[in-house]
Amino acid sequence: MSGDTVTHWIDGRPVPSTGQLIEVVNPATGAVVGTVPAGTAADVDAAVRAARAAFAGWSTTSLGDRAKIVERISEGLNARAEQIAQSITAEMGSPIAFSRAVQAGLPVAVSATSAAIARDFTWEEEIGNSLVVREPIGVVGAITPWNFPLHQIVAKVAPAIVAGNTVVVKPSEVAPLTAAILAEVVAEAGLPVGVLNIVHGTGPQVGEAIARHPDVDMVSFTGSTAAGKRVAVVASDTVKRVALELGGKSASIVLDSADIEEAARAGLAGAWINSGQTCAAWTRMLVPAAHHDRIVEALVAAAAAHPVGRPTDDATVIGPMSSELQRQRVTRYIEQGVADGASLVLGGASRVPGFEEGAYVQPTIFAHVDPDSVIAQQEIFGPVLSVISYGSEEEAVEIANNTIYGLSGAVFGDPDHALGIARKLRTGQVSVNDGQFNVLAPFGGYKQSGNGREFGRYGLEEFLETKSVQR
Distance (Å, rounded) from C-alpha 441 to C-alpha 126? 26
**Alpha-carbon distance 64 to 129, whole Å?**
28
Q: Which of 435, 434, 436, 438 is nearest to 459 (CA)?
A: 438
Q: What per-residue string of b and e applies to 334-365 under the rule 16 or more CB within 10 Å gives b?
A: bebbbeeebeebebbbeebeebeebbbbbbbb
90-138 pLDDT, tens digit each: 999 999 999 999 999 999 999 999 999 999 999 999 999 999 999 999 9
User: Is the separation of the CB atoms in 453 and 443 below 8 Å?
Assistant: yes
Give me the architecture of the 251-437 domain, per CATH.
Answer: 3-Layer(aba) Sandwich (3.40)
Predicted local distance difference test score (pLDDT) of residue 2: 43
C-alpha 186/C-alpha 198 separation (Å) is 12
Quick one: pLDDT at residue 43? Answer: 97
pLDDT, tens digit, 9 for 90 and up, residues 228-245: 999 999 999 999 999 999
Across the chain, mean pLDDT equals: 97
Strand partners, 187: none
| Percent of the chain clearing pLDDT 90 (strictly above) | 98
Contact (Cβ atoms closer than 8 angstroms) between residue 166 and residue 121? no
Catalytic residue among 91, 245, 379, 393: 245
- Count, residues in the chain: 471
Q: What is the pLDDT of residues 149-195, one digit of tens each?
A: 999 999 999 999 999 999 999 999 999 999 999 999 999 999 999 99
Domain topology for 4-246+448-470: Aldehyde Dehydrogenase; Chain A, domain 1 (3.40.605)
Residues of the chain with CATH 3.40.309.10: 251-437
Helix (H) or strand (E) holding 234: helix 225-235
Residue range 428-451: mean pLDDT, rounded: 97
CB 267 within 8 A of CB 285: yes
Q: What is the mean pLDDT of residues 404-410?
A: 98
Rounded Cα gap, residues 102 and 151, in angstroms: 9
Res. 3 pLDDT band, cuts 50 70 90: low
Residue type for 78, please? N
**Residue 385 identity:** L
Measured CA to CA, the distance from residue 302 to residue 317 in angstroms comes to 13
Pinpoint the residues of the chain covered by CATH 3.40.605.10.
Answer: 4-246+448-470
Could you confirm whether 208 is annotated as catalytic?
Answer: no
- What are the CA-CA distances from residue 354 to residues 115, 275, 301, 358 (Å)? 46, 17, 21, 11
Query: What DSSP assignment string belongs to 355-375?
Result: B-SSS----EEEES--TTSHH
In the predicted model, what is the mean pLDDT of residues 297-326? 98
* Buried-exposed string 399-419: b where 16+ CB fall within 10 A, e elsewhere: bbbebebbbbbbbbbeeebbe
What's the pLDDT at 55?
A: 98
The helix/strand/coil state of 21 is strand
- Amino acid, single-letter form, for residue 275: S
Half-sphere exposure of residue 299: CA atoms within 13 angstroms, side-chain side: 33
Q: Is residue 147 scored above 50 in pLDDT?
A: yes
- Percentage of the chain modeled with pLDDT above 70: 99
Cβ neighbours for 389, distance < 8 A, ≥ 6 positions apart: 286, 287, 288, 289, 292, 368
Closest CA to 456 of 59, 71, 159, 133: 159
Cα gap 422→443, rounded to integer Å: 16
Q: Which of 8-22, 203-217, 298-312 has the lowest mean pLDDT?
A: 8-22
Where does the pLDDT of residue 384 fall: very low under 50, low under 70, confident under 90, or very high at 90 and above? very high
For strands 384-390 and 409-412, give the pairing.
unpaired
Q: Assess whether pLDDT exceeds 70 at residue 1.
A: no
Among 16-20, 214-218, 467-471, the least confident range: 16-20
